[in-house]
Amino acid sequence: MKSKGYVCLAMALLSTLALTVGTTAQNGQSAVAKHHRYKVVDLGTFGGPGSTVNCCAHQINARGAVVGSADTSAANPNPGCFNGPLGFSDCNVNQAFKWRDGTLTDLGALPGGYNSFSQAINAHGTVVGSAENGVTDPILGIAEFEAVLWHHGQITNLGTLGGNESLAFDVNDRGQVVGFSANAVPDPASMFGFATQTRPFLWKDGVMRDLDTLGGTNGVAFMMNKRGQIMGQFYVQGTTNIDTIFWDEDGNAVDVGSLGGTNANCSTCGPWFINDRGQIAGNSTLAGDATHHAFVWDQGALTDLGTLGGDNSDANWINDSGLVVGRADVPGSLTHHGFIWKHGVMTDLGVIGGDACSTAYAVNSSGVIVGDAGICFVGGRAWLSDNGGPMLDLNDLALPGSGLHLQDARLINDRGEIVCTGVLSNGDMHAVLLIPVDDDDDDNAVRTASTPSPAPRHASSEARRSPQSRWSYRNRIPGAQSPSR
């Protein structure tokens, strides 16, 4: 029989817990009520079912222009229909788009090609990505695609380094472009499953330059900053190890290294963001390759960010102040929470309500963080957090009437405009832009927290993607295989 003292202690603890939960919920509702609201802009399609912002890098610029890919109503003639807009086969022709000030522009493909994919936009509205050229790769049997640049309504083929495929990943305000290209050297171990070596390139003033990979045979350039500093991955010379690589403004290469592992069979390992200070946030396996941690590389120093008490962590973004966001396992490693890392400390951003997991994807210069929460590795609802404050469901902050459930908030610019996925009642997914609304313009907004939008019953885009690398998903590499396989 339990003593009266234990019964009283248990009742006291339960009362305290109930008070804490109630206070937390009230604080969340109060934060929602005080926060500005968002106009929901469905970026639409070209007549087909879906559209997406390919994420991440620079798919929204400081002026609110957004690039991505959208379905047309035409059937995709390519074998396997591998290039649907959401990382799975939907068998519609897919076209790169640019959206600005309410206008969705079809950027088109190369002559003879059907599909195109945009990856980044700079401050001047120049867009880069890839487009089919109307030729079938004689070795792989897939539609060839080549790196392209769109500017003032014109498409420019950036070419290749001698192989059949290339793709542009990023463009800075100087008009410099980075990406990868196949060359003519046969290599069965090529990155992305090509028949020849995969090489990183820098395109500048009409010339594609093969970047140094420190003796390694394969590499890829993923992202660059305003200064022209570049980050990517490469095969370490004479090994099957894959390390992060950094190129300075003059093209000099530095092996960023790892946290002790080889990064083999790790789909999230590698660089994820480079800020304008040249700091890189990414992920690496530890010794033995059984677990992986987020890292920051800064002028030669590689820092392990640790976890929230579990085994693994992933960094997704670093802003110019050095704030890093991502996700990390909590004790037991069965669930993960979004985190913010600053001044050497990782802070748990928590979850929303009864959600099991959350992930932070991006943070702007003001420290506003966006992400997704819900079922682990599936997600369910988009959220934001002001500098690590309460996690707010963006469905509660959106002005009513859009008919969309918001999930996967992936990008935010310094104006506070957020790019996420909107799910229609029939399950179709559209790229969505959330635009902050000033109180003076918010006459029709509900001033209290709205009823939370229920999560869609089907799996989110993260669960529906094909089993390729996260780089392949995020950067829309048609038919690509993981560079870590």
Q: What is the pLDDT of residue 442?
A: 52
Asked if 431 contacts 51 with a C-beta cutoff of 8 angstroms, the reply is yes
Place 189 in a pLDDT band, splitting at 50, 70 and 90.
Answer: confident
Written as one string, the DSSP assignment of 288-315 is TSS-EEEEEEETTEEEEEE-SSSS-EEE
- Stretch 78-94: mean pLDDT, rounded? 62
Whose CA is closest to 147, among 121, 109, 184, 175?
109
Q: What is the pLDDT of residue 454?
A: 41
- Token reading at 373: 């929460």
Place 212 in a pLDDT band, splitting at 50, 70 and 90.
Answer: very high
pLDDT, tens only, 266-322: 989 999 999 999 999 999 999 999 999 999 999 999 999 999 999 999 999 999 999
Q: Which of 130-144, 368-382, 429-443 has the lowest mean pLDDT?
A: 429-443
Q: What is the pLDDT of residue 480?
A: 47
Q: What is the pLDDT of residue 25?
A: 46
**Residue 159 DSSP symbol:** E
**Residue 81 DSSP symbol:** G
Backbone angles phi, psi at 119, to 5 degrees: -120, -30
| pLDDT of 479 over the 50 cut | no
Q: What is the pLDDT of residue 378?
A: 85
- Token reading at 473: 């998903």
The span from the CA of 170 to the CA of 172, in Å, is: 7
| pLDDT of 1 over the 60 cut | no
Q: What is the pLDDT of residue 198?
A: 97
Q: At residue 422, what is the residue type?
A: G
The span from the CA of 267 to the CA of 482, in Å, is: 7
Residue % of the chain over a pLDDT of 90: 74
pLDDT, tens only, 49-74: 999 997 667 999 999 999 999 999 99
Q: What is the pLDDT of residue 30?
A: 63
| pLDDT of 447 over the 90 cut | no
Q: What is the pLDDT of residue 316?
A: 97
Residue with tokens 């769109």: 150
Backbone angles phi, psi at 249, to 5 degrees: -60, -25
Mean pLDDT of the chain: 85
Written as one string, the DSSP assignment of 322-391 is --EEEEEEPTTSS-EEEEEEETTEEEEEE-STT-SEEEEEEE-TT-EEEEEEEETTTEEEEEEEETT---
Sheet holding 379-386, edge to edge: 357-363, 368-375, 379-386, 392-393
Whose CA is closest to 327, among 365, 371, 297, 363?
371
Q: Which residue has the higher pLDDT, 140 or 83?
A: 140
CA 119, chain centre distance (Å): 11
**Residue 445 DSSP symbol:** S
Q: What is the pLDDT of residue 374?
A: 96
| pLDDT of 449 over the 80 cut | no
The span from the CA of 303 to the CA of 381, in Å, is: 31
Q: What is the pLDDT of residue 35?
A: 87
Place 446 in a pLDDT band, splitting at 50, 70 and 90.
Answer: very low
The pTM for the full model equals 0.86
| pLDDT of 39 over the 70 cut | yes
Q: Which residues pair with 66 in a beta bridge?
A: 60, 99
Q: 12-16, 26-30, 286-290, 481-485: which has the highest mean pLDDT?
A: 286-290
First to last CA, the chain: 59
Place 468 in a pLDDT band, splitting at 50, 70 and 90.
Answer: very low
Place 461 in a pLDDT band, splitting at 50, 70 and 90.
Answer: very low
Place 377 in a pLDDT band, splitting at 50, 70 and 90.
Answer: confident
| pLDDT of 23 over the 90 cut | no
